[in-house]
Each structure stands twice: as C-alpha cells, then as structure tokens.
Structure 1
Amino acid sequence: MIISIFTGPWLPVPAVQGGSVPRLWQGLAEKFVAKGHQVTILCRSYPKQPQQEVINGVNYVRWGGFPQSTNIWWDLLKDLTYALISFPRLPAADILVINDFWLPVFATLQPYVGQVVINCARFPKGQYWLYGKVDRFYAVSNAIKEAILKEYPPANNRLKVIPNPVNTDVFFPPTQPKLKQGEEIILYVGRIHPEKGIHLLLDAFSILSRQIPRVKLKIIGPIKENQGGGGGNYLYTLQNKVEGLNVEFVEPIFDIHKLAEAYRQADLFCYPSLAEKGESFGVAPLEAMASGLVPIVSDLACFRDFIDEGETGYFFDHRSNNASHKLSDTLLTAISNSDKNYQMSLKAAQKALFFNYEQIAKFYLDDWIGGSISLPL
C-alpha cells in the first residue's frame, strides 16, 4: 500500500521539540515500511530539517508550519490556513492518516489521496459533523470513542479503538537491580500545566514528606507556554509550594533514550491529570509501565484502558474535596509495600508489551487490508 501520514502545523517530525503524537507516528511509519509498504510523512518545516529526506525508509516532505499558542481560536485559524495550503499538495495514496482539526474537511475533496482516516487523539469539540465523508475514525481510547459517539452517532460504523503505542525497544525495565541510595524517587513526566495537576501533586508530596522524609519528587517537562506548559505565573505558584521540600524541576527531555533512563532511575510514577476533557490516553503512564514503574494516576476513564487498580497501578479520587490527601495516601501505600510494588511493576511492564509498535502497527494494517482486529483492551 501507499500510505500518507499528515501530522499538522505544530510540531516537527522527527520529534526534536517533543510531542508524543509525532513520535508515535514516526515509529508506526517505520513499522509499515518494514512490512513492505510505501510511507510518506507530511509535516511542518523546521530549522535544520530539509524540505525532503528519507529516514529509515520513510519519506519526509515538509512545508510551512506555525508555533502553537494558548489561544484556541487563533490556533484554529492558523490550522485552517495550514490545511488550505496543504490539501492541494497531498500526494496520491491508498490511505491518508490525519491528526489535524481542519484537513479532514478538505482532504475528502481529493479522491486520489485514498481512504481518509483520522487518528482521534483528542476529545471532540463539536467538529465531527464536519467529517461526514471520512472513511474511518480511530479513537485512541474507549473514553474518546464514547465522546465521539455522543457528539456524532453516525460515526458508529466507521469508528474503532486503536490505542497509542509505546516503544518497548527503548522503554524497558532496568536490566540490573536498582541500587538504593536512601531516597524513594517519585517521577512525573509531562507538561507542567495546571490541567496536569502538578500543584495537587506538590500538596500531596508535602503531606507525604512529613510521613516519609526520604522521598524525592522529580518533575520533568516543559513550562513554556509555546511548548504546552503553564507559563511563568504557574511556575511561580509551584515554586512557592516547594520551599523546604525535596523537589527537582528538570527541563523537558526530548531524547527518548535519555528520557527512558530517567524513568528507570525512579521508583514510582505519578500522573495526577485533572484534564477531564483533555486527557485522551496517557502516553507517559504507559512509558512508565514499560520502564518497570508502577503508575499512580487520577481517576480518568482513559487510564482504565491499560491500568488495572491494584494490579498494574493505582488510582486516586482527583475529584474529592481532599484530593491532595487521597493522593498522598495512595503514594504512601505504594511506597510502604515494597514487595507488592515489585510484583505490580513486573505486571505493569508485561501489560505494556501489548502496546508495542509492532502490535499497534498490525492493528492498523489489518484493518486497512481487510483483516479483523483483536485489541488488548
């Protein structure tokens, strides 16, 4: 097959500036090529990346692009501009995969682009009625699937769940036993933004530190608004909370091998997202599981596709009036029971293997070629 993958105007591919979606589609594209298919990734221009090149058998074609802002209406206008510029350039193909708001509307006007399919990696925002001619919708979680059907019931016969993958060749448990250095390291990886609940995590960690002084919290991710962070004012709020606490803020790590090593150096992973209509799957908790970490996450539906309470991770009630105490209690439980934590880490790493690139690529190819899908959810 000839497969085109359109990644939108915001982030470069390969992902030199972060972004789990560009990274995962790069990995899937390489798996498609390994199966004998011809793949082109259509993405934004970026300094030091040529307009066209071939990497690991995948053809990259780049043009235009915009920096993302915090104003959704301005970003929608920029995305519309990019879609209007892009759709006449779309190459002939059998399949066109799109992760973008506006392009599906115009791509269906070009019959030579092949079947138009949408990677539904975000909660719908009222736009799905615009996609009446799209051939297939791939929701990354059951939560996204239910939200799409609630908004646009005619999608039912064209909608399937295919989860995000994790690169288990890079994210894997330590090969040697960890050397205890007197600290229990709790790790967070992701955007440092209010909707991710970092302030809640710091409140919970403050309570936990009074019970277990040896704990350390390590927070890795972007704070800059143009990288999806909460900006300087939010950072100031967080810094006021960490005074006297063993908390380390680390710049975002875009090298996935270095990021995987950061996971392997930790003892627990916490992802306290508050984004009820923003968290679609949760790549970071899955990467943590693949690296042998037990995840502690908020009670969002999307996480239940791959985390089993008390078996491969823990949930806490983020909607509670005393959510910080709920989170602190859950962290204390996980740290205090080292034997159970070790067994859960083994199960977590094993569960993550179901989501490797090879398997997820097979789900897509089977559907495109006409096979059946058997999902591990």
Structure 2
Amino acid sequence: MRRKWIRTNGWVFQVERSRGSTTCRRWRDPVKITIVQGGALPIPPVRGGAVEKVWFSLGREFAKRGHEVTHISRTFSELPSEQWLEGVHHVRVKGFELSSKRYIALWRDLGYAARVLHVLPRADILVTNNPVLPLLIRTSQFGALYVHVARYPKRQMRFYGHASRIQTVSQAAAEAIISQAPKIGGKVRVIPNPLPSAICTLDVAASWQERNKQILYVGRVHPEKGVHLLIDAFKLLVQSGVHGWRLIVVGPWAAAQGGGGEGYYQSLRARRAPVVDMVNLLGPIFDPDVLAIHYRHAKLFVYPSLAEYGEAFGLAPLEAMAQGCPPLVSTLACFQDFIENGRSGFIFNHRADRPEEELYRTLKTILSSDQELMSVAVRSHEVSRVYQSANVAEMYLKDFAVIGAARRVPHNRVAQ
C-alpha cells in the first residue's frame, strides 16, 4: 500500500493506493472524540456543575455535526451505566462524593481515573478536566490528549507536558498557566465556556418592567464565592433607606455538593436575621428551566467571587446575561473577557479594606437608575450571543483539526 499526504485549501488529505484502488480521506471527516468528566458529578448534569453543563452541551453539538462522541462520567442512581442521548454514547463508571480535604480528593480522583482507563475507546481526541487522568495517559491510542483547565491552575500544569493541548477558558487563566509552566506555553489555547442552553428570543427593554425588584445570586454557597459579603452589603442597602428589593440566593451549601458546609450556611442565616423577610436562601436548583425563570425575574445578578486562585471564567454571570439580567461581579481578571464595567455589566473592588461596604456603595449607585440598569441589561444580552454553544463548538473543532493534522501528517511527507 502506498500512502501520501496532501495539504491544500486548509484541508489535509490522506491518499492511499492499494491493489488498483485509491482511497482519499480528510481530517474533517467524522472525528472520534472522547470526553472524560471528573468523577464527582454525573452527566447529564442532574446535580449541576458548570463544567458538566458545558461539556454535556458541547458533546451534543459535536454529535450534531456527525462526529463520534463518547462521554464518560460517574455512575448515578437515576442513570444507566451506558446509554445513547442525542447521538452521544454515554458510559458511566463508579465515581465519588466531593471532599474538602485535598489529599482525599486526589486519592478518589486516582481511583476514578484508573477505572476510566478500562473503558476508554480508541479515538482521535481525548478531552478531560480530570486532574489525574492525564498523568496516566502515555499512549496515543486513546487520541490526542486535550487537557481542559476550568479552574485557576495550582502548579500541576508542569506534569502535563506530554499533552497535545492545554486549553483553558479565559486569558487570565492562560497567563497563569504559562507563568507556572513556561515550557508548555506553546500548547496553551483559550476557548471560552459556551452557554449550555440556547439563548432565548428576548426583548430585554420591552419586558424590563415585568421583572421584579430582585437581586439574584446563583452558584455554590461557599466562602470563596463571597455570599456573606452580598448579605452584609444588602443589609447596609436596606439600612440606608433603599426599600422594596429582595435578595435571592440559589445554590448548594452542603460540602458534598461543593458548598461551604453546615457551619457556613448557619452563619449566613445568622447574618440575614435583621432582613430575614427580604433574603431567601433557596438551596440548589438544578433544573435549567427553573433557573431560567429566576434569571428572567431578577433585575440584577451579583457574583461577588473572592476566589483569586480558583475562578477561571464564571459561567453563572454569562447565563444571567443570556436571560437579560445584567451582572455585577468582583474585580477578578477572568470576568474581564466578557464584562466591561458600565457597559455589559458592573464591577466592584472586592480587594477593598471593607469589601462589603464597597459592594454596598456599588449596589446603591446601580439601583439608583433603573433606566441605566436596563441599558446595561440590553448590552449584556447582546454580548452573551457570542457564547452560544454552536459558536464555541466550532472553535473546538477547528482546534481539534489543527491537532489532528499535526498528529497525522509528518511535515516532511506533505506535498505543499
């Protein structure tokens, strides 16, 4: 058999001649993509999880385009060990519950990764956000290793030098990766998180007066998310004479679900005591349709994250923007990729000496002009359209093609 590679018009063709027949293949034929999720949350994301929602959405987008997608995640009582959903082959192996102790979490990740190895299919691309699995992959039979970094790096990147790509979701996270592991700088690529759900047809300005005077938070109820700051700032807002507003907090507080635990939850309940009738702690809501209703009812979304070395993108503010609810976020650099202060959202200085007072003053200024708040809501909704799943899926597929061409086509054997 004779084989030749030809590169032309952005495509790479592989031509094979054998016994009088000729076969021509190109890289953008169906790609075999394996997605390996972390071992704590199931797919579909029936227990939430930003990364889980993102890759569940992207897997379906890849399958829509005719690619062969296998999605590996943890087992869950309500889900079979194997099934097909919207063209995606789902395989589930035994996972684990989250732990706040890092050494326990790593040990559980190791066990999960070892179990995943037994079910990995042959593929062209292997995508994973699991921190341990890349260390165990030392063969190309499972595909080009594509490490997805959705959290601020914690100096583990230097162990991933053998990966074909280190992909992260914001410029701030990319700069941190390169700073910590300069040798892999050439492999780092930024592709933003997509919106897991399709953007609804929404006339933000026309429906603005139908919204309630509600301030909304959606996310893990954990100290690093700054929920205590938000409650304290809201109390100051009420004490200053701003009335008629409610604060709605949605998200898990249990440690097993990534929250701050019982102690933190009880501290929040104590903090809201003076304004208990105006602050609702609703707990987790995983149904995307119910979450969308909360976003569409609120006039302001607040995400006061303090996670200097944890936050890499912040999907919740983007989801709020897609539903016409403008975001107010902290000054973490990761938000600056899609939020411009005063135009597509608002930013407060969480590094101030008294951040709760800084947040209170920002809130009071924002809420003083309903017309300006509406204008920012309109612009933020427009910005969110860039992040539709279909658009971001194409970014990934183009990057997969670059990696595939590099793997499949030896440079000295390509006809220019």
TM (norm. structure 2) is 0.86
Question: 1:229-276: CA deviations, max 9, x gaps?
Answer: 111111111111111311011121101011111100101010001110
3-state secondary structure, aligned to 1:353: helix
Tell me how far apart the structure 2 counterparts of residues 334 and 165 of structure 1 sit (CA, whole Å).
27
Partner in structure 1 of residue 83 of structure 2: 53
Q: Specify the code of the residue in structure 1 equivalent to 2:71.
A: I
Partner in structure 1 of residue 141 of structure 2: 112
In 2 relative to 1, CA 214–266 (structure 1 residues): closer, same or farther, beyond 3 Å?
A: same
3-state secondary structure, aligned to 1:116: strand
Post-superposition shift, 1:173? 4.2
1:313 pairs with 325, 338, 345, which one?
345
Q: How does 1:333-352 map onto structure 2 within 5 Å?
A: 333-352=365-384
Partner in structure 2 of residue 126 of structure 1: 155
Q: How does 1:146-165 map onto structure 2 within 5 Å?
A: 146-165=175-194
In 2 relative to 1, CA 9–201 (structure 1 residues): closer, same or farther, beyond 3 Å?
A: same
3-state secondary structure, aligned to 1:229: coil
Q: Specify the code of the residue in structure 1 equivalent to 2:68.
A: Q
What RMSD in Å do the two structures reach over aligned CA positions?
1.5
For the pair 1:234 / 2:234, whether they are aligned, the reply is: no
Partner in structure 2 of residue 65 of structure 1: 95
Q: Specify the code of the residue in structure 2 equivalent to 1:36.
A: G
Q: Specify the code of the residue in structure 2 equivalent to 1:203.
A: D
Q: Specify the code of the residue in structure 2 equivalent to 1:367.
A: D
Post-superposition shift, 1:180? 5.2
Post-superposition shift, 1:226? 0.3
1:304 pairs with 308, 322, 336, which one?
336
3-state secondary structure, aligned to 2:274: coil
Partner in structure 2 of residue 74 of structure 1: 104
For the pair 1:280 / 2:312, whether they are aligned, the reply is: yes
Post-superposition shift, 1:322? 2.0
Whether contact under 8 Å (2:126, 2:143) holds in the other structure is yes
Whether contact under 8 Å (1:174, 1:264) holds in the other structure is no
Give the total of aligned pairs: 369
Q: After alignment, is 303-312 or 210-219 more displaced? A: 210-219
Tell me how far apart the structure 2 counterparts of residues 200 and 172 of structure 1 sit (CA, whole Å).
34
Q: Which runs of 4+ in 1 moved over 3 A?
A: 170-176, 178-181
Question: 1:159-186: CA deviations, max 9, x gaps?
Answer: 11001111352566467625558x6200
Whether contact under 8 Å (1:174, 1:291) holds in the other structure is no
Tell me how far apart the structure 1 counterparts of residues 270 and 203 of structure 2 sit (CA, whole Å).
34
Whether contact under 8 Å (2:235, 2:274) holds in the other structure is no
Partner in structure 2 of residue 209 of structure 1: 238
Q: Specify the code of the residue in structure 2 equivalent to 1:339.
A: Q
State which structure, 1 or 2, has the greater radius of gyration over its C-alpha atoms. Answer: 2
Gaps of 5+ in 1: 372-377
Partner in structure 1 of residue 27 of structure 2: none
Q: Specify the code of the residue in structure 2 equivalent to 1:78.
A: R
Post-superposition shift, 1:124? 1.5
3-state secondary structure, aligned to 1:133: coil
In 2 relative to 1, CA 268–120 (structure 1 residues): closer, same or farther, beyond 3 Å?
A: same
For the pair 1:248 / 2:277, whether they are aligned, the reply is: no
1:41 pairs with 71, 74, 92, which one?
71
Q: Specify the code of the residue in structure 2 equivalent to 1:120.
A: V
Tell me how far apart the structure 1 counterparts of residues 303 and 105 of structure 2 sit (CA, whole Å).
27
In 2 relative to 1, CA 173–208 (structure 1 residues): closer, same or farther, beyond 3 Å?
A: farther
Partner in structure 2 of residue 375 of structure 1: none
1:332 pairs with 364, 370, 374, which one?
364
Percent of aligned pairs sharing the same letter:
39
Partner in structure 1 of residue 164 of structure 2: 135
3-state secondary structure, aligned to 2:136: helix
In 2 relative to 1, CA 172–193 (structure 1 residues): closer, same or farther, beyond 3 Å?
A: farther
2:58 pairs with 19, 25, 28, which one?
28
Question: 1:20-75: CA deviations, max 9, x gaps?
Answer: 11111011011101111010101111112111100001000111111111111100
Whether contact under 8 Å (1:4, 1:95) holds in the other structure is yes
Whether contact under 8 Å (1:172, 1:290) holds in the other structure is no
In 2 relative to 1, CA 329–173 (structure 1 residues): closer, same or farther, beyond 3 Å?
A: farther
1:295 pairs with 308, 322, 327, which one?
327
Whether contact under 8 Å (2:158, 2:184) holds in the other structure is no
Q: How does 1:175-214 map onto structure 2 within 5 Å?
A: 177-178=207-208, 184-210=213-239, 211-214=241-244
Whether contact under 8 Å (1:168, 1:353) holds in the other structure is no
Whether contact under 8 Å (1:184, 1:214) holds in the other structure is yes
Tell me how far apart the structure 1 counterparts of residues 258 and 98 of structure 2 sit (CA, whole Å).
8
Tell me how far apart the structure 1 counterparts of residues 49 and 147 of structure 2 sit (CA, whole Å).
18
Question: 1:259-304: CA deviations, max 9, x gaps?
Answer: 1111001010100011100111000000011111111111100000
TM (norm. structure 1) is 0.95
Gaps of 5+ in 2: 1-30, 404-416
